Amino acid sequence: MLKNSKINKILYFFAFLTSVLYLFWRLFFTIPWEDSHFSYISGLILWFSELTSFFTAFVLIVNKSKEVNLEKGVMTQENLPDIDVFIATHNEDYEILYKTVNACVRMNYPDKSKVHIYIADDTNRPEIKKLAEEFSVGYFGLENNKHAKSGNLNNALSLTNSPYIATFDADMIPYKDFLLETVPYFLKDRGDSKPIGLIQTPQSFYNPDIFQFHFYSEDKLPNEQDFFSKSVNVLNNTRGASVYTGSNTLLRRKAIEDAGGFPTQTITEDFELGVRMNIAGYLNYSTTKPMASGLTPTDLRSVIKQRIRWGRGVIKSSYNVNIFFNPKLTLGQRMIYINGYFYWSSFFRRLVYIIAPILYTVFHIRIVKANVWLLLIFWLPSYILTKLAMRDVTDSYRTQTWGEIVETVFAPYLVIPIFLESIGISEKKFKVTSKSVSNRNFDYLFALPYLILWILSLYGLISFNIGKYGSELFYGSVISFWLLHHLINLTFALFSTLGRPIFRKEERFLVKENANLTVGGLQENIQIVDVSEHGLSFVSSKPLYIRDSMQISLYDGEYEFDIKGQLTRVVSKKGKWLYGIKIVDLDNKNKKAYFYYIYDRSNKYLTEVRDNWVTIWDDLYNNLIQRLHLMTNYNLVSSRGNTMFPEISTNFPVSLNSEPMRITKFNVSEIELSYDSQLTPKDYITFDNSDIRLNLQKKMISPSNQLVCYNVVSFEEKANGGMQRFYNELYMGSVNGNH
C-alpha cells in the first residue's frame, strides 16, 4: 500500500484523468455504429458497464482521500446511559441463541444494572422463553408478525425505553467489551455537528466463508465480507453515511424514532433505517474493530439466496427513500448510496465483461472497433493506474482480482433477480438464511453456467490465436488477455461448486492459555492451544500418562471453568506433546463459562488480512493440487500409530531380573531396552520399582544393535499417580542428561 498521501493524491488524479479520457475515447471512437443493431447496442452496454465500474471505483477513491478519525468520549457515572439489547430471532436453533445470550449477559459495563437484555422472538416459542428465564433476561414473544424482522424489532422498541439500543442477530455473539467500545462515541462533544445515529461494528465470522473454505484459503484470504465491513463502510464515514448492517450495532433510540422506526416495506430494514436516519439529520459511523462474530453460510446455495435477498432489499429501499434525488441527503451521502445501488449491477457488468470477448472470438460479432495501438494508449494507463489506486483503497482485505472472482461466482444467479427488482417486480416471500453446516458435494446445476462460459472462453482463446505468429499475436493480445483473465476467474467459480469435505461439526479456535490438568491425583501445568464446544487440545512440555478421564481447570480472573475430558489422541511435536481431548460431563455452570471463553474472541485460524506474497497463480496451483489429492495438510505425526500414550526417548539405567539394562524408549504399551553384549534377554521379565510394576514379554530383538523390544503385558501402579511419576523420572533424566 502506498503510504505517502501526496503520492496517493497524484495517483488518484492521474487514474481519474486517464479513465475519463479512456471512456470519452471509447464512446466516440470505438462503438461500431456501422455494424448490426446487436453489435452497437452490445457495444453501448459494454461502455455503460465500464462507466458504472468507473463510478463505483472513484466514489471509493474520493472517500479514501478524505478519511476521518472518530473520537470517543469518556464514560463517567454521571453520563452513563441505559442500554436495551435486542436479540432478534425467527426460527434459529436453541443452541445458537444460547451462545449469543450467554455472551450478552457477560458484556462489561460500569453499571450492569443499566444494561437490559431482551430476546425478541417473533415465533413465540416456549423453549426460547425458557432460555430467557434461565439467563434472567427479558422475553418478547410475538405471534402473527406481518412485518418480519422489522415488526419484531418495532414491537421490542415499543416495550422498552432506554436511550440506546444494541441489536444482534441470533447467531452474532458479542465480545465482552462491545458496549465499552461503542458507547463512548455517543458521549463525545462534537460541537454543532449533527448527532450520531448509530455506530456499526464490522460483521465478523468465526467459521470460514465459502471462498475461504472451498478455495483452501483460510490462512491466506480474509472473509469476503471484510472488504465491505472494514474498508468500504469505514470510508463511508467521510459523509456520515455508513451502512447499518442489522447486527453488532449501537443505535440512538431518538434517531430510530425520528426515522419512523424500523421500516416495514422492505426486506433490508437495516439498510433503509440507516438512510432514513441520514434524512432525519443524523450521522452514521462504522469502526474497523470487530466486537462480535457469528456464523456465515457454508454452501453456495445458501449464500446465493442470501445475496438475492440483500440485493432485492437494497434496490427496493433505494426506491423507497429516493436516494437519487432526496434533497435531505447531502450530495456525498447520495453518491455513497447510489454507489451501493450500482454495486448490485456489478454482477451484470461481470457477465458483460466475460461475454464480450466470447462474442468476438467465437461468434465473430464486433462490439469494439479499435486499433490495438490506440487501445493500448488509452486503455492500458487507465487500467494500471486504477488498479494501483484501488490497491490502496482496498487496504489488506481484497485484491481487485479476488473481487472479480466473487462477482463471477454470483453473477449468473443474481442478474435476473436484481433486474426484476430494478423494474419493480418483487419476490413475495423470503426465508432466513440457513447457517447450519453443510457437506454438499459437486452441484452440477450450479456449475453449468460457469462450465459453459469456461468452455466458450477456452474455445475462443484457442480459435482466435491458432495459426497466428509474431505481430499477429500482438495485435490480438488485449482480447487474449481478457479471455485468459476470465478463464482463471471461471475456474475458481467452478471450484466453488466442487465442495470440500467437512470433518468437524463445530469450529476450533486458536488460543494460548496456561491451565492446570488434574489426572491420577496429580496436577500438571499445561497450555491450551485450541478449543471447540466439545473438545480442546493442549500442549505439555513433558509426557503425561492419561488413562481414563481428567479435569482441566482455568482460573485467570476473566475466564474460569472446570471441565472433564477423555483423551482422543497424543502427538509428538517439536519436543513437546500435543493432546486431543473430548469434553464430557459439562454441567450448565461450566458450560456457560466455557462457551464464554470460546466465543469471546475472533477465530485466529482464519486470517484477517490477505497474504501479499500469494498471487492468484499460487492460489490456482494450490487448488489444483488439493483437488487432485497430491498434498496433505497434516504436519503432525503420531508418536506410535494410534497409541493414546506418549513415547519418550531416554537412556535410563535399570535392573531387570538382576540384569543391568538401559531404557531407550518407553510408552505404556512398549519398552525398548539396550543390553550388554554378554547378556541374553529373556522372553519374560519384570520391571519393579517404588512406583510401578511392569510385566514384559519379548517382542523383537536386534543383536547387532544390542536392542530388545518388549510388550507391556500388564502393569500395576503401586501408588496413585505411579505411572506419571515414572514418566517424569524418565523425562527429567533425558532432559538433564543425568542418566
Task: Supply the angle between the helices 346-361 and 477-498 in degrees, to the nearest 10.
Answer: 120
Q: Which three cell numbers stand for residue 329?
A: 441527503
691 neighbors 718 (Cβ within 8 angstroms) = yes
Angle CA(45)–CA(46)–CA(52) in degrees, nearest 5? Answer: 85
Q: Is the pLDDT of residue 368 over 60?
A: yes
Is there a single domain that holds both residue 286 and residue 186?
Answer: yes
Is there a single domain that holds both residue 151 and residue 125?
Answer: yes
Top-confidence residue, 700 or 502: 700
Domain boundary among 266, 282, 300: 300
Is there a single domain that holds both residue 572 and residue 472?
Answer: no
352 neighbors 45 (Cβ within 8 angstroms) = yes
Q: Does 308 map to a domain?
A: no
Is there a single domain that holds both residue 586 and residue 694?
Answer: no
Is there a single domain that holds both residue 392 and residue 479?
Answer: yes
Q: Residue 139's pLDDT is what?
A: 98
CATH of the domain at 100: 3.90.550.10
Q: Residue 2's pLDDT is what?
A: 45
Is there a single domain that holds both residue 357 and residue 472?
Answer: yes
Is there a single domain that holds both residue 376 and residue 420?
Answer: yes
- For 702, counting Cβ atoms within 10 Å of its Cβ (0-12 exposed, 13-18 middle, 19+ buried), the class is exposed
Q: Hey, is 249 helix, strand or coil? A: strand
Q: Is the pLDDT of residue 505 over 90?
A: no
Q: Does 317 map to a domain?
A: no
Q: Is the pLDDT of residue 270 over 80?
A: yes
Q: Residue 656's pLDDT is what?
A: 78
Helix locations, 529-683, DSSP H? 588-599, 616-627
Q: Residue 442's pLDDT is what?
A: 58
State the Cα–Cα distance between residues 413 and 211, nearest whole angstrom.
16
The pLDDT tens digits for 674-693 are 988 778 888 998 888 888 89
Is there a single domain that holds both residue 220 and residue 251?
Answer: yes
- 666: which strand partners? 648, 671
Q: Does 72 map to a domain?
A: no
pLDDT-derived band of residue 542, with 50, 70 and 90 as boundaries? confident
Q: Residue 639's pLDDT is what?
A: 38
State the Cα–Cα distance between residues 285 and 438, nearest whole angstrom.
35
The pLDDT tens digits for 323-339 are 999 999 999 999 999 99
Q: Residue 585's pLDDT is what?
A: 84
pTM of the model: 0.89
pLDDT-derived band of residue 393, with 50, 70 and 90 as boundaries? confident
How many domains is the chain built from? 4
State the Cα–Cα distance between residues 686 and 55, nearest whole angstrom.
83
Q: Residue 508's pLDDT is what?
A: 93
Q: Is the pLDDT of residue 719 over 90?
A: no
Q: Is the pLDDT of residue 470 over 50?
A: yes
Q: Does 318 map to a domain?
A: no
Q: Name the percent of the chain lying above pLDDT 90.
A: 68
Q: Is the pLDDT of residue 437 over 70?
A: no
Residue appearing with cell numbers 461439526: 505
Give the DSSP per-residue string, 262-317.
S-SSSS-HHHHHHHHHHHTT-EEEE-SS--EEB----SHHHHHHHHHHHHHHHHHH
Q: Residue 431's pLDDT is what?
A: 59
CATH of the domain at 721: 2.40.10
Top-confidence residue, 478 or 391: 478
pLDDT-derived band of residue 381, with 50, 70 and 90 as boundaries? very high
Q: Give residue 685's Cα distance to chain centre.
A: 57
Is there a single domain that holds both residue 96 and residue 192?
Answer: yes
**Of 222, 213, 295, whose CA–CA distance to 499 is shortest?**
213
**Of 324, 200, 171, 329, whose CA–CA distance to 270 is shortest?**
200
Q: Residue 631's pLDDT is what?
A: 46
Q: Is the pLDDT of residue 179 over 60?
A: yes
Is there a single domain that holds both residue 490 and residue 518?
Answer: no
Top-confidence residue, 382 or 729: 382
Q: Does 306 map to a domain?
A: no
Q: Is the pLDDT of residue 350 over 50?
A: yes
State the Cα–Cα distance between residues 421 and 312, nearest whole angstrom.
6
Q: Residue 634's pLDDT is what?
A: 38
Q: Is the pLDDT of residue 420 over 60?
A: yes
Is there a single domain that holds both residue 564 and residue 422?
Answer: no
Which of 202-211, 468-477, 556-565 ranks highest by mean pLDDT?
Answer: 202-211
Q: Residue 638's pLDDT is what?
A: 40
Domain boundary among 277, 300, 323: 300
Is there a single domain that holds both residue 91 and residue 146?
Answer: yes
pLDDT-derived band of residue 640, with 50, 70 and 90 as boundaries? very low
233 neighbors 326 (Cβ within 8 angstroms) = no
Q: Which three cell numbers stand for residue 125?
A: 416459542
State the Cα–Cα distance between residues 223 and 469, nearest whole angstrom.
43
State the Cα–Cα distance between residues 559 and 335, nearest whole angstrom.
46
pLDDT-derived band of residue 434, with 50, 70 and 90 as boundaries? low
pLDDT-derived band of residue 311, with 50, 70 and 90 as boundaries? very high
Top-confidence residue, 1 or 683: 683
Stretch 383-393: mean pLDDT: 88
Range of the domain at 458: 5-66+345-431+442-498
Q: Does 585 map to a domain?
A: yes
Lowest mean pLDDT among 34-43, 283-292, 696-705, 726-735: 726-735
Domain boundary among 465, 498, 531: 498
Q: Does 277 map to a domain?
A: yes
Q: Does 633 map to a domain?
A: no
* Phi/psi of residue 481, nearest 5 degrees: -60, -50
CATH of the domain at 550: 2.40.10.220
The pLDDT tens digits for 223-257 are 999 999 999 999 999 999 999 999 999 999 999 99
Mean pLDDT of the chain: 90
**Of 343, 325, 316, 338, whose CA–CA distance to 406 is shortest?**
343
